[in-house]
């Protein structure tokens, strides 16, 4: 059962404006494709939560990438774009007009094959192809060291931390930004909830 009140902390990373993509080794025998309704149906129809979530992401204009082989998914990664809702755990991001990579997962049996890193590079390329000077962010939990390592290897640089407070009442979820400490600055805005 979820707690009524949850305080969460995420470390935030930002892609430098002068970032150039690294050549990716794609010898892992997986297909990587941009998410679309047909692919989501093929890979997630038997998983109603992901199926519904991913179709919802597409309807709002988010972009997603999926690694798969045959009819089995290995990893996925999603990105909020300017004008789309922010990540579910950071809804105030919508106001920022930035790209924000979120909702990434690699199945345990496919970890340590570079799929996550490859997805991050491709999502960054998509954002920069749409807008060469776009701001691209990603966050993760502070103790997720494999994720942090991959994020930094792609070229993201630390950009502070975010603390949120979520209030979980059945059929109602409210997330409040407590603090975004950016680049060692003092508190960067409080009280926004959207």
The domain that holds 145 is classified in CATH as 3.40.630.30
Q: Do residues 161 and 14 lie in contact, with contact meaning Cβ atoms separated by under 8 Å?
A: no
pLDDT per residue rounded down to tens, the chain (194 residues):
567 888 899 999 999 999 998 866 666 789 999 999 999 999 999 999 999 999 999 999 999 999 999 899 999 999 999 999 889 888 788 788 999 999 999 999 999 999 999 999 999 999 999 999 999 999 999 999 999 999 999 999 999 999 988 887 776 667 777 788 886 543 333 333 33
Contacts of 1 (CB under 8 A, 6+ apart): none
Model pTM score: 0.88
The answer to whether residue 169 is domain-embedded is: yes
* The pLDDT value given to residue 27: 66
- Based on the structure, what is the number of domains in the chain? 1
For residue 104, the enclosing domain spans: 5-181
Whether residue 192 is contained in a domain is answered as no
User: What is the pairing mode between strands 136-140 and 99-106?
Assistant: parallel
Establish if 194 belongs to a structural domain: no
């Amino acid at each position: 059962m979820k707690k009524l009140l949850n305080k969460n902390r995420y470390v935030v990373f930002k892609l430098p404006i002068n970032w150039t993509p690294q050549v990716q080794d794609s010898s892992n025998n997986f297909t990587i494709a941009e998410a679309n309704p047909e692919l989501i149906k093929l890979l997630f129809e038997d998983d109603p939560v992901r199926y519904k979530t991913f179709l919802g992401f597409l309807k709002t204009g988010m972009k997603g990438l999926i690694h798969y082989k045959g009819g089995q998914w290995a990893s996925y990664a999603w990105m909020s774009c300017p004008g789309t809702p922010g990540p579910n755990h950071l809804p105030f991001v919508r106001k920022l007009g930035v790209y924000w990579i979120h909702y990434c997962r690699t199945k345990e049996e496919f970890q340590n094959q570079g799929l996550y890193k490859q997805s991050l590079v491709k999502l960054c390329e998509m954002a920069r192809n749409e807008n060469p000077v776009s701001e691209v962010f990603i966050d993760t939990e502070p103790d997720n060291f494999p994720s942090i390592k991959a994020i930094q290897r792609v070229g993201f640089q630390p950009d502070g931390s975010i603390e949120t407070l979520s209030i979980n009442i059945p059929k109602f979820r409210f997330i409040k930004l407590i603090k975004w400490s950016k680049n060692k600055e003092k508190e960067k805005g409080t009280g926004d909830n959207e």
